[in-house]
Amino acid sequence: MENKAYKLLAEQLNISGKRAKELIDRGLVYVGDKKVKIARATLPIETKFRVEMPDSVEKIFEDDNILVVNKPAFIDSYEVEAIYPYAKLIHRLDRETSGVLLLAKNEDFLKKAIEEFRNRRVQKFYSAWVEGVVYEEIVIDAPIHTIKGPKSISKIDNKLGKEAITIVKPNEIQGKKSKVDIEIKTGRTHQIRLHLSYIGHPIVGDEQYGSVTKAKRLLLHAKGIKIFGKEYKAKEPKDIQRYK
């Protein structure tokens, strides 16, 4: 016999169907080493699930104007904002991306910070594991056009795209995978993911943009941001420190 995945999970964990569906939609539920991607998919009733909850949000720095946290993977930026109701998001990270996230503690600072991002005066640094071997620095200058929707997707488009610049530097090589350091000069939707795929080195675990390697998440970490002359850094999680 079979039943829908979220119903089986709800029964197994003694939680509501809504909560079970939410856990699956957030990418936290596994059967063996495979992530359960579709809450309404039918599975055998004897299926055993494993739920891997995200790490806690770590506070990096706080003063009268700014709150800086290390966002774990599998938590939405808006969920972080909900944890700290006295602060508002200055920018966002994708759900599966970990790392430095900035929040403003007053409207005046929020406006000033957003203006810094808009005028490209903020430096943004990332770490990632990618498919293939990266031997040398690569500067990617390819315009990006984003099609908005429930699951936005970005494409390289010389006519409709907006300027996007990404700098990629090799850091470490393990077999046919490379750890790279990244700096982005612009902030387009899925910029790093698309640009790395565009040069033939998609981020490990990023099936949407061409990764062929199964992973618990796309292995991308926002390791540092420099704004108003101050740099804030987030410690790399274990899956970024070492690939295997």
How does pLDDT run across 101-129, given as a tens digit for each residue? 999 999 999 999 999 999 999 999 999 99
pTM over 0.85: no
Residues 32 and 72 in one domain: no
Domain span including residue 198: 58-241
pLDDT at residue 244 tops 80: no
Is 226 in contact with 121 (CB distance < 8 Å)? no
Q: What separation in angstroms does the CA of 147 have from each of 95, 150, 152, 189, 238?
A: 18, 10, 6, 9, 33
Q: What is the pLDDT of residue 164?
A: 96
Number of domains within the chain: 2
Residues 120 and 214 in one domain: yes
pLDDT over 70 percentage in the chain: 100
pLDDT at residue 240 tops 80: yes
Condensed to tens digits (0 to 9), the pLDDT of residues 151-184 reads 889 999 999 999 999 999 999 999 999 999 999 9
CATH number of the structural domain spanning residue 98: 3.30.2350.10
Q: What is the pLDDT of residue 227?
A: 98
Q: What separation in angstroms does the CA of 193 have from each of 8, 80, 97, 118?
A: 34, 23, 11, 21
Condensed to tens digits (0 to 9), the pLDDT of residues 195-237 reads 999 999 999 999 999 999 988 899 999 999 999 999 999 999 9
Query: Is 94 tagged catalytic?
Result: yes
Q: Which residues of 78-111 are buried (b: 16+ CB within 10 A; e: fewer)?
A: eebbeebeebbbbbbbbbbbbbbbbbbbeeebbe
Is 122 in contact with 129 (CB distance < 8 Å)? no
Residues 47 and 62 in one domain: no
Give the active site residue among 94, 108, 141, 157: 94
